[in-house]
């Protein structure tokens, strides 16, 4: 496995139906030729991803999107025009060009134009789109630097394009359309406020399911391997005497009774919080700790997406203890 900036090497691998680690503005993806089932299958294998969980298709222009969907609802078009390239994924009716493996049998395909210069350059040189889920093992923390992809997937991936730290840091917002309704299935890097400014009121439906429409809807997801709790940090500190405690806080620094403390955004910026979230979750998880204590952040802007990830990251620990 190698990390580098060689786009030609990336193209060679993709043409050979191999998987590639690739940067986007949200999180790193594990990419393969979306038109080749053999290549797509490798994504599921390397990630240990269940086949019922469909993949997002990445491309670099609205014209290319039109070439593999049947139609684009008006509001979808408005959103694409306003926010692509960017952290927005649209669920659209697929054409026959997209196989059932990519969509797990759904008639809808998830599409996005990511906003990363290296990846846009790569996509513009390909005559096929790239299927790419986040480049983590199923259920684990999404990677926002190339080294985190390497740490999760090891030799499962031959090459990782190095685009540095992802600018947004949480996954794209996923939006679907039912008749006249617009539904957010996963909150993420594009805020509800920004969306509603363009198309008016939308519905948020990120309810948890055991067999969900999107894996971001699994009750447990993004989970660190150290027990991870979210709540009132000051109160929780008393519940774990004699334990090695790590704290992942929003603004306040904790130094008493804790072994380590990460502050997501000392100045209270939700953008900065999103950008640091997965990276700090990974770093704190690498430290020898008994427990990690975290707290929710203000529930607006990117805070919704951050809180969604905190909740799912803590779900399995809150449930069992
Ligand atoms: O920001 C992102 O969206 C990143 C970067 C790499 O683009 N990708 C990402 O992919 O988060 P992944 O696979 O980790 O999450 C994609 C979500 C999954 O929860 C999947 O279930 C959902 O999108 N999804 C994909 N295709 C779908 C479809 N046809 N219908 C409903 N949900 C779909
Ligand atoms: Mg993911």
Q: What is the pLDDT of residues 146-192, one digit of tens each?
A: 999 999 999 999 999 999 999 999 999 999 999 889 999 999 999 99
- Ligand 1 and 206: CB distance under 6 A: no
- Ligand 1 and 29: CB distance under 6 A: yes
Peptide bond into 222 cis (omega under 30): no
Pick the atom of ligand 1 nearest to 94's CA: 29
- Ligand 1 and 274: CB distance under 6 A: no
How many secondary structure helices (H) and strands (E) does the chain include? 11, 15
Calpha distance 71→144 (Å, rounded): 33
Ligand nearest to the CA of 87: 1
Determine the pLDDT at residue 207: 66
Ligand nearest to the CA of 170: 1
- Ligand 1 and 308: CB distance under 6 A: no
Determine the pLDDT at residue 319: 62
Calpha distance 95→105 (Å, rounded): 12
- Ligand 1 and 230: CB distance under 6 A: no
Pick the atom of ligand 1 nearest to 142's CA: 14
Model confidence at 195, pLDDT cuts 50, 70, 90, reads: very high
215 C-alpha to ligand 2 centroid (Å):
7
Per the CB < 8 A criterion, the answer to whether 47 and 136 are in contact is yes
Model confidence at 51, pLDDT cuts 50, 70, 90, reads: confident
Residues 6+ positions from 29 with CB-CB distance below 8 Å: 21, 22, 23, 58, 114, 130, 132, 133, 134, 135
**Tokens matching residue 233:** 């940090």
- Ligand 1 and 91: CB distance under 6 A: yes
Determine the pLDDT at residue 52: 86
Model confidence at 222, pLDDT cuts 50, 70, 90, reads: confident
133 C-alpha to ligand 1 centroid (Å):
6
Closest Cα to atom 23 of ligand 1: 214
Ligand nearest to the CA of 93: 1
Q: Ligand 1 pocket: which of 101, 171, 218 to mutate (most atoms <8 Å of CB)?
A: 171
Closest by alpha carbon to 230, among 264, 189, 186, 272?
Answer: 264
Write the CA distances from 149 to 94, 114, 134, 153, 253, integer angstroms: 29, 18, 9, 6, 29
pLDDT tens, 307-318? 999 999 999 887
- For the cut 70, the answer to whether the pLDDT of residue 216 exceeds it is no
- For the cut 70, the answer to whether the pLDDT of residue 61 exceeds it is yes
Ligand nearest to the CA of 110: 1
**Tokens matching residue 55:** 């993949």
Model confidence at 321, pLDDT cuts 50, 70, 90, reads: very low
Per the CB < 8 A criterion, the answer to whether 29 and 2 are in contact is no
Closest by alpha carbon to 224, among 274, 275, 276, 291?
Answer: 291
**Tokens matching residue 130:** 């790239």
Determine the pLDDT at residue 316: 87
Residues 6+ positions from 171 with CB-CB distance below 8 Å: 26, 27, 87, 134, 142, 186, 188, 189, 216, 305
Closest by alpha carbon to 95, among 118, 72, 62, 116?
Answer: 72
Calpha distance 30→169 (Å, rounded): 16
Calpha distance 245→258 (Å, rounded): 5
Per the CB < 8 A criterion, the answer to whether 90 and 80 are in contact is yes
244 C-alpha to ligand 1 centroid (Å):
35
Q: Ligand 1 pocket: which of 87, 133, 161, 168 to mutate (most atoms <8 Å of CB)?
A: 133
- For the cut 90, the answer to whether the pLDDT of residue 202 exceeds it is yes
Calpha distance 46→136 (Å, rounded): 9
User: How many Å is the Cα radius of gyration of the chain?
Assistant: 19
Ligand nearest to the CA of 89: 1
**Tokens matching residue 241:** 């005497």
Q: Which whole number is the average pLDDT over 104-117?
A: 97
238 C-alpha to ligand 1 centroid (Å):
39
Q: Ligand 1 pocket: which of 26, 98, 110, 152 to mutate (most atoms <8 Å of CB)?
A: 110
pLDDT tens, 269-291? 999 999 999 999 999 999 999 99
Calpha distance 44→39 (Å, rounded): 9
């Amino acid at each position: 496995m190698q990390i580098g900036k060689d786009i030609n090497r990336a193209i060679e691998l993709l043409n050979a139906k191999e998987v590639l680690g690739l940067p986007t503005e949200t999180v790193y993806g594990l990419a393969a030729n979306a038109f080749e089932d053999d290549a797509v299958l490798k994504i599921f294998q390397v990630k240990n991803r269940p086949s019922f969980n469909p993949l997002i298709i990445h491309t670099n222009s609205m014209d290319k999107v039109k070439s593999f969907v049947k139609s684009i609802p008006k509001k979808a078009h408005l959103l694409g025009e306003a926010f692509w390239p960017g952290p927005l994924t649209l669920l659209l009716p697929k054409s026959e060009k997209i196989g059932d493996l990519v969509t797990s049998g759904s008639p809808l395909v998830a599409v996005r134009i990511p906003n990363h210069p290296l990846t846009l350059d790569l996509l513009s040189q390909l005559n096929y789109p790239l299927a790419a889920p986040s480049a983590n093992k199923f259920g684990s923390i999404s990677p926002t630097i190339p080294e985190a992809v390497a740490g999760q997937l090891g030799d499962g991936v031959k090459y990782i394009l190095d685009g540095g730290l992802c600018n947004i840091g949480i996954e794209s917002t996923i939006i679907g359309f039912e008749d006249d309704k617009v539904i957010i299935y996963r909150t993420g890097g594009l805020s509800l406020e920004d969306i509603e400014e363009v198309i008016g009121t939308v519905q948020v439906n990120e309810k948890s399911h055991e067999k969900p429409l999107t894996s971001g809807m699994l009750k447990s997801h993004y989970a660190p391997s150290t027990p991870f709790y979210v709540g009132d940090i000051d109160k929780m500190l008393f519940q774990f005497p004699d334990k090695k405690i790590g704290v992942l806080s929003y603004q306040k620094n904790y130094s008493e009774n804790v072994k380590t403390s990460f502050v997501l955004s000392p100045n209270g910026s939700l953008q900065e919080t999103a950008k640091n979230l997965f990276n700090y979750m990974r770093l704190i998880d690498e430290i020898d700790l008994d427990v990690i204590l975290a707290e929710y952040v203000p529930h607006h802007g990117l805070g919704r997406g951050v809180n969604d990830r905190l909740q799912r990251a803590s779900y399995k620990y809150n449930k069992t203890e």
